[in-house]
Amino acid sequence: MAQCDTESLSLTFSDEQRALYSSTLTAPLNRHNNEKTFLIWVNEEDHTRVISMEKGGNMKRVFERFCRGLKQVEHLIQERGWEFMWNERLGYILTCPSNLGTGLRAGVHVRLPKLSKDPRFSKILDNLRLQKRGTGGVDTAATGDTFDISNNDRLGKSEVELVQLVVDGVNYLVECEKRLEKNQDIKVPAPIAQFRK
């Protein structure tokens, strides 16, 4: 893997974070493959953040790459006699409590100019167990009506279930957007259960 150039990549850290990290001994280490579709951040928010991404809509390929890469990372950690912190009830133990469980956030950038202005947008997201962020990450505004739509939960569902929830949810949002473009009504879906029964 090549070392990540944080000065030229907007997909890593903000200017403030880069300035802070460059002045400390705890600067995060970033690695990525040549295509920049698989990245590992070490010592950012969590000890290790594994990222798989690409343009287009092939979530299956992105998820498969994530799983392969995570298995390799886990294997390397186990070779050294270590393991990720894991609890039978809570799943993976991460720095931020909101990431307990799978720790998986599957996100899709999608442009929703009509739906994002509809007063039902937030309720639709809530009922689909989805959240919206700006394309620059947490606490950023949407750019040109494009949002990063991702799973709200990390706990109570498997990684596969969470990715499928995002795929189904984004498909529903796109369908709503198409209906609004045609001046047709949309419906707020029934709430999805947060945890498995």
Binding residues for ATP: 49, 105-109, 133-138
Give Cα 191 distance to the centre of its chain.
21
59-79 helix and 159-181 helix, angle to the nearest 10 degrees:
160
CB count within 10 Å of CB 1 equals 12
Distances (CA, A) of 97 to 91, 101, 128: 11, 9, 21
Question: Pairing mode, if any, of strands 107-111 and 146-151?
Answer: antiparallel
Q: Would you say 111 and 146 are in contact if contact means Cβ atoms under 8 Å apart?
A: yes
Half-sphere exposure of 141 (CA within 13 A, CB side): 2
If we measure between CA atoms, which residue out of 62, 179, 182 comes closest to residue 124? 179
Q: Which residues are annotated as a binding site?
A: 49, 105-109, 133-138
Q: Quote the CA–CA distance of 182 and 179 in Å, as a whole number.
A: 5
